[in-house]
Amino acid sequence: MTDKVIDTNMVTIVGKIASDKEFSHEMYGEGFYSFDLEVPRLSNHVDILPVTISERLLVDVNLKLGEYLVVEGQLRSYNRYVNGNNRLVLTIFARETYIPKDEEELNEILKRPNEIYLDGYICKEPVYRTTPFGREITDLLIAVNRPYNKSDYIPCIAWGRNARFCEKLEVGDHIKLWGRIQSREYQKKLTDGEVLNKVAFEVSVSKLEYLKDDNNREGKEFDDYKENSEDEEVQGVVI
């Protein structure tokens, strides 16, 4: 049963270690650390992605700045309360890590440096919008189940034809999606006029599948849907 739940959330990323590890928290006597990984895009940009790793996985791995590391795991979310406000925080929870054995293996892995698969449910009404450059986008929030009656809430972005389709999805609809995790810088203006630079993390969707036999439609017609993104490079756009 546990393996089935794990299979609904799978991540593989490879990139350069971009920060020293810092102690994050302890659970049942097991310590966890966090660090950043610089993951290349197909374009000239990179994504700086947060990774959480158990001390037990660090026994045989020495995290050196600038060294390439492969991380396999899940994209998880948790709530952080700051100044009375609830904030959704995302991190890649490492289950396995390894250092490529040679340049040939590294070059092969870097052909697909950032992959995620999610199987979950729409838990917030989709929001369709367009960018200043006319790109169509739909923002989604996906609930993905994991063991012990917990769920991860993952913000996602669909583009183009996928965006137009996702605009019609309803809360409770079951979808599967494939894509990449991206970091996005933005500015937040406070009430006193101060501007803060922040970073958001989300999944850029390249392919999705709608499961019409497992949803909240109650007899309403909605066709099966499988679609790929229109343009692979669209996923790399910082918005």
- Residue 72's SS3 state is strand
CA dihedral (204, 207, 209, 210) positive or negative: positive
Phi, psi of 159 (to 5 degrees): -120, 155
Q: Which of 140, 135, 163, 162 is nearest to 234 (CA)?
A: 135
pLDDT at 220: 55
Q: So where are the chain's domains?
A: 2-114, 116-236
CATH classification of 2-114 is 3.40.630.30, yes or no?
A: no
- State the CATH class of domain 116-236: mainly beta
pLDDT at 239: 25
pLDDT at 226: 59
pLDDT at 233: 34
What tens-digit pLDDT sequence spans the chain (239 residues)? 444 446 999 999 999 999 999 999 999 999 999 999 999 998 889 999 999 999 999 987 889 999 999 999 999 999 887 667 778 899 999 999 999 999 999 999 999 999 999 999 999 999 999 988 899 999 999 999 988 889 999 999 999 999 999 999 999 999 999 999 999 887 777 777 788 888 889 999 999 999 887 766 555 555 555 555 443 333 333 22
**Residue 97: Cβ within 10 Å count:** 18
pLDDT at 234: 35
The overall pTM is greater than 0.75: yes
Q: Which of 192, 198, 197, 223 is nearest to 209 (CA)?
A: 223
pLDDT at 77: 94
pLDDT at 2: 45
CA 110/CA 40 separation, integer angstroms: 8
User: Between the CA atoms of 101, 13, 109 and 204, what dihedral angle is there, to the nearest 10 degrees?
Assistant: -170
Q: What DSSP state is assigned to residue 232?
A: G
To which residue do tokens 């949803």 refer? 215
Fold: same for 2-114 and 116-236: yes
